[in-house]
Amino acid sequence: MNEAVRVRFAPSNTGHLHMGGARTALFNWFFARHTGGTAILRVEDTDQERSTEAYYDAILEAFDWLGLDWDEGPYRQTERMEMYAGAARRMLEAGTAYRCTCTPDEVEEMRQKARAEGKTPKYDGRCRDRYDADPTEPFCLRLRTPDEGETVVNDLLAGSVTFQNDQLDDMVIVRTNGAPTYNFCVAVDDIDMRISHVIRGNDHLSNTPKQILVYNALGEAPPRFAHISMILGSDKKRLSKRHGATSVLEFREQGYLPDAFINYLVRLGWSFGDQEIFTREEIIRNFSIDNLNLSAAVFNPKKLLWTNQEHIMSGEAGGLLALLEERLRARDLDPDMLTREARLGVVEELRTRAKTLEELADGATFFFRQGVEFDEKAVKKFLKPEVAGPLARAREAIAGVEPFSPEGVKTAFERVLEAEGMKLGKLAQPVRVAITGGTVSPGIFETLCLLGKERSLERIDKALSLINQP
């Protein structure tokens, strides 16, 4: 029982990596890292119709973003065709597979009939013992499924799940065109890759007995299985585009941190006491299949947002800044408008105010613009004629602050306030609108200092002339 842990994540490149797939990949990856095992990536690209190279690349890109590295692979099933052919040949020779010359139409007819009679729709096995078939007739290969008995899936999570063999079909393992089928390839690959644990979505539970039958036919012992719960939309329906973003890369665009995204996804169906926020290392250290939940989980965008903010607040400033700069450049803004020290200050001031990197960029934008883009309503409400005086005096006070620090600015403000007999709120908002264009920003003293004395004065002058103009 001391076998080496070897797990695999096996997406098909018929679409983007979505949340559900990512979560399955995560559980596999964390299990491997926790146990010191091997994580393998295998792309199931045998669907000629729907597989594309673009999706293949996008899937790898998604893993790159998530920071999941694979110890082996990516393997591609299209590069392993000889192996499936070899396995099929061995099964044919052993009599655990047979040639079937029935056409899809004929099989469909059988199913219709069985369904009409209220029985399990399945192929009736009429080609099982035919030795008289015309050798030139096209044929597919079917697995010879036992007529009686049962196939038991020993699931690490669900316990033993029993399937009656008579419910199972003689499934096609090699198509008439020679292409091997999914359930066959999976089993052959998992045998070849010496997979010890198959951790995958619950939707595969009913495929499992079919795959176990292939293991049996090939004389191999099946791996351990763990079928994890699925992710549902807020309407408890399977997650789809209707529920908003589902592709992993979309979350990158929206400004989620990979560690936060991982944190949220892993917590969906897995728990460790009352802890909500985890670093990657903490998950590796504490991950266990035993703590996985059996029931389906509803995706909650608000909690994802909260998780993201938690990671933004605790993240390393330099890394966050690099990500912020990327987004500023995408908005045609030049990060070098501020010194690196000031930029780090911007991150510190804004990290408690942003749930995503996009919001971080929104809040930082006014620092990196040449001038100010005024918000109409803010101007109307706060840059009124009566504040011209106090604002002008605040301008002079600010001009005299040396060195230009938040404490210094604060002291200068206090002097003006006292002379004017005003409350800070009455002065801070006009100044804020003057230098940011809007009514929301970090503390006014910090904001002035990060923006710098020169640029602050320029902006206040601009606001002053705006007030005096009309």
Partner RNA sequence: GGCCCCAUCGUCUAGUGGUUAGGACACAGGCCUCUCAAGCCUGGAACGGGGGUUCAAAUCCCCCUGGGGUCACCA
Residue 380 CA to residue 357 CA, distance in Å, equals 30
> Do residues 11 and 21 make contact, with C-beta atoms less than 8 angstroms apart?
yes
Using left for φ > 0, alpha for ψ between -120 and 50, and beta otherwise, residue 9 falls in beta
164 binds RNA (CB under 7 A): yes
Of the candidate spans 85-93, 300-308, 326-334, 462-470, the one that interacts with RNA by CB under 7 A turns out to be 300-308
Tell me the site size for RNA, rule CB under 7 A.
Answer: 87
Token pair belonging to 323: 């990500």
Query: How, if at all, do strands 38-43 and 72-76 pair?
Result: parallel
128 binds RNA (CB under 7 A): no
Site for RNA in 375-414 (CB under 7 A): none
Q: Which is nearer to RNA, 32 or 171 (CB)?
A: 171
296 binds RNA (CB under 7 A): yes
Of the candidate spans 67-75, 129-137, 338-346, 428-436, the one that interacts with RNA by CB under 7 A turns out to be 428-436
Of the candidate spans 89-97, 213-221, 288-296, 329-337, the one that interacts with RNA by CB under 7 A turns out to be 288-296
271 binds RNA (CB under 7 A): yes
Of the candidate spans 278-286, 306-314, 390-398, 454-462, the one that interacts with RNA by CB under 7 A turns out to be 306-314
> Do residues 68 and 322 make contact, with C-beta atoms less than 8 angstroms apart?
no
Q: How far is the CB of 366 from RNA (least distance, A)?
A: 12
In single-letter form, the type of residue at position 54 comes to A
Q: Which residues of 287-320 are buried (b: 16+ CB within 10 A; e: fewer)?
A: bebeebeeeebebeeeebbbbbbbbbeebeeeeb
CA distances from 376 to 98, 207, 435 (A): 77, 61, 14
Q: Which is nearer to RNA, 65 or 306 (CB)?
A: 306
In single-letter form, the type of residue at position 205 comes to L
Q: How far is the CB of 463 from RNA (least distance, A)?
A: 16
Active site residues: 241
Interface with RNA (CB under 7 A), residue from 61, 71, 169, 220: 169
121 binds RNA (CB under 7 A): yes
44 binds RNA (CB under 7 A): yes
367 binds RNA (CB under 7 A): no
439 binds RNA (CB under 7 A): yes
Q: Which is nearer to RNA, 107 or 248 (CB)?
A: 107
> Do residues 174 and 118 make contact, with C-beta atoms less than 8 angstroms apart?
no
Q: How far is the CB of 266 from RNA (least distance, A)?
A: 10
Site for RNA in 231-270 (CB under 7 A): 232, 236-238, 267-269
Of the candidate spans 280-288, 340-348, 422-430, 459-467, the one that interacts with RNA by CB under 7 A turns out to be 422-430
Q: How far is the CB of 134 from RNA (least distance, A)?
A: 14
Q: Burial level of 202, CB count in 10 A (0-12/13-18/19+)? A: middle
166 binds RNA (CB under 7 A): no
Interface with RNA (CB under 7 A), residue from 176, 216, 365, 405: 176
Site for RNA in 314-353 (CB under 7 A): 352-353
**Contacts made by residues 176-184, CB under 8 angstroms, sequence distance 24+:** 176/138, 176/139, 176/140, 178/85, 179/46, 179/48, 180/46, 180/81, 180/84, 180/85, 180/88, 182/44, 182/46, 183/207, 183/210, 183/211, 183/214, 184/84, 184/87, 184/88, 184/143, 184/214
Interface with RNA (CB under 7 A), residue from 24, 183, 246, 263: 183
